[in-house]
Amino acid sequence: MPEGDTIFRAAQTLHRVFAGRIVTGFSSVLPYLNRVVEDRPLVGRTIESVVGRGKHLLVTFSGNLILHTHMRMNGSWHIYPAGERWKRPERDMRILITTETAVAVGFNIPVAEFLTASDLAKHRQLRRLGPDLLDGSFDARTVLDTMRQRRDPIADVLLDQRVMAGIGNVFKSEILFLAEVDPFAKPAELSDAQLERVIATAQAQLRANVLPPSRTLSPAFGRRTTRSLDPNQKLWVYGRGGKPCRRCGAPIQSRATGLDARLTYWCPRCQRSGTDSAA
């Protein structure tokens, strides 16, 4: 599932390849995109920038037109030299943007829309995004204050993009393990030191998982939180239910939580409720 690090890498690479290029072709299987392009053709416009905001990706074209996409669970952007065969089947294509030298293909993208700058400024979902963990102006104090207002378990709070943008289900479990925090504790039950540790760990992990833009567009090397180069030891707890904790050996536990019943993984020994061993 694409999280903030994946979108950040995708945006950087798309910007590097396409910024300043003129669109020579556009097609989509999404009728609502085609309706806009019929009235406001994309061909001939210049791609001005590509940026990520949390899990959202924004492609800005000349003439006040912005393509907003959200990957949800399975969406992805691929880049190919013009004429090269795609690695995904054509039936998975949702959006195709062509320039003279390269093409950008959006596969299985479930959320896509064209916006103007005015639309973007008023966009309800984008306006409600919390501070982006990969933004240089990220404000940890604002995030801590927002966390204090939440009554849900901290695991669910981390997935709330209105608190801070960029964390998905994998990072949620990994961050809480590294911060030694019980995923089911509520912010009111945690000290400032614990919440500050969660925020700092979140920022450090997303930054550590952002590779230079020349390396990759998708997480081909896999998301890592352990710093191990062993491909079998990329993560501490996520997806390891029933297996021994890499630190203490206790069996990793898992439970479906939240409205979407997403699995949370944790170590019952390293993340004991009420402890603050690192504070």
- The 3-state DSSP class for residue 141 equals helix
For 166-214, the pLDDT digits (tens) are: 888 899 999 999 999 999 999 999 999 999 999 999 999 888 877 554 3
Share above pLDDT 70 across residues of the chain, in percent, rounded to a whole number: 92
Last residue of a domain, one of 72, 103, 127: 127
Tell whether 116 and 167 lie within a shared domain.
no
Cα angle 152-157-160, degrees, rounded to a multiple of 5: 125
* Higher pLDDT, residue 206 or 223: 206
Segment holding 80, helix H or strand E: strand 76-81
Tell whether 10 and 122 lie within a shared domain.
yes
CATH code at position 178: 1.10.8.50
Q: Find the mean pLDDT for residues 126-142.
A: 87
What is the count of structural domains for the chain? 2
Tell whether 113 and 153 lie within a shared domain.
no
Residue 277 counted as domain residue: no
Tell whether 90 and 157 lie within a shared domain.
no
Average pLDDT across the chain, whole number: 88
* Higher pLDDT, residue 115 or 11: 115
pLDDT, residue 54, reads: 76
- Rounded to whole angstroms, the Cα distance separating 63 from 133 reads 30
pLDDT, residue 209, reads: 76
The pLDDT-based confidence of 3 (bands split at 50, 70, 90) is low
Tell whether 260 and 152 lie within a shared domain.
yes
According to DSSP, the β-strands at 25-28 and 47-53 are: unpaired
* Higher pLDDT, residue 223 or 194: 194
pTM of this structure: 0.69
The pLDDT-based confidence of 2 (bands split at 50, 70, 90) is low
Tell whether 17 and 121 lie within a shared domain.
yes
Share above pLDDT 90 across residues of the chain, in percent, rounded to a whole number: 64
The pLDDT-based confidence of 276 (bands split at 50, 70, 90) is low
pLDDT, residue 222, reads: 59
Tell whether 203 and 234 lie within a shared domain.
yes
Residue 247 counted as domain residue: yes
Contact 87, 76 (CB under 8 A): no
Q: Taking 80 as the threshold, does the pLDDT of residue 107 lie above it? A: yes
Tell whether 201 and 169 lie within a shared domain.
yes
Residue 260 counted as domain residue: yes
- Rounded to whole angstroms, the Cα distance separating 17 from 38 reads 26
CATH code at position 77: 3.20.190.10
What are the two backbone dihedrals, phi and then psi, of residue 253, each rounded to the nearest 5 degrees? -110, 160
Residue 160 counted as domain residue: yes
Dihedral sign (CA 253, 258, 261, 262): negative
Q: How many helices (H) and strands (E) in the chain?
A: 8, 10
Q: Taking 80 as the threshold, does the pLDDT of residue 115 lie above it? A: yes
Q: Taking 80 as the threshold, does the pLDDT of residue 220 lie above it? A: no
**Burial of residue 252 (number of CB atoms within 10 Å: 0-12, 13-18, 19+):** buried
Active site residues: 2-3, 55, 262
- Rounded to whole angstroms, the Cα distance separating 41 from 262 reads 40
Contact 43, 24 (CB under 8 A): yes
From 12-21, 47-56, 63-72, 84-93, the region with the lowest mean pLDDT? 47-56
Tell whether 151 and 56 lie within a shared domain.
no
Tell whether 104 and 157 lie within a shared domain.
no
User: Domain of 84?
Assistant: 4-127
